[in-house]
Amino acid sequence: MATLCVTTQRVTAPRATLKHGKSRRVPSSVTPTRDTSGRRLLVRASAEGSDPVKEAVGASVPAPEDVSPDEFARFYALLQCADVAEVEKKCLEMIQAGELTEGVLKAGFAVLEQATARGDEKVIPTLTGLCQYLLEMYQRLAAPPALVLVDQFVQLLDDEEKVLAAMRAALLAEDAEIDLAKFLEAVAEFLVAIETQDAEFERDYAQMGDNLTPEQLEQVGQMRTMRAGAKAQMLEVQRHAESLR
């Protein structure tokens, strides 16, 4: 299964690309800890139970040296979210507080890589979805100008007059940071990247074959719907911008 790198370029707006959700809950007793020898561990689960996510994060292994216990704690707090809306809300709160760091992403991908190495198919879809969403939200902080504008335009798509007015002000002004032609070039590149990500998404889940549970199949369906919505919004932005040529 493909493993994402924290330096992967983010290609779509968070509002338009909430690709992955999760509906499993991790007990609050799962917390970062250290063993008596002082070697830092990912986590240790102290509660009994058979929840596969709890079991995955309970597989204590050495953590990446540049990830703090607090950063692991933030990732595990997201694992406790009940649904997509709660994940999005907590991520936005972390961004506003300056707490969505590269270390949080590394914590998530470390857990995902360990689960993948163990072949833990019960938990891989949940961890993959959360990690990829966190990657997108993190990269929003360093989004290129064209992507910042896409985010703004997406929020106005329900009102054609408003979105066109915003595009004229942002793309046709003499002092525009990015002009219409360059914006359209960037949007075309974003769409190509979306297509590539979609293909990778389908390939990764196809590799799991019949190992997915009904709950995980429902999650995959939700992810497909979200990705389709993201692409549709990007195409709408492209269509409106093309009309200004």
For residue 3, is it within any domain? no
For residue 9, is it within any domain? no
CA distance 104 to 111: 11
Domain extent, residue 140, equals 14-146+148-242
Which residue stretches of the chain have pLDDT < 50?
1-49, 60
Tokens of 132: 């990829």
pLDDT value for 239: 96
For residue 142, is it within any domain? yes
For residue 100, is it within any domain? yes
pLDDT value for 17: 33
pTM of the entire predicted model: 0.50
pLDDT value for 22: 33
The long-range contacts involving 200-207, CB below 8 angstroms and separated by at least 24 positions, are 200/2, 201/19, 201/227, 203/2, 204/1, 204/2, 204/128, 205/125, 207/1
**Total count of domains within the chain:** 1
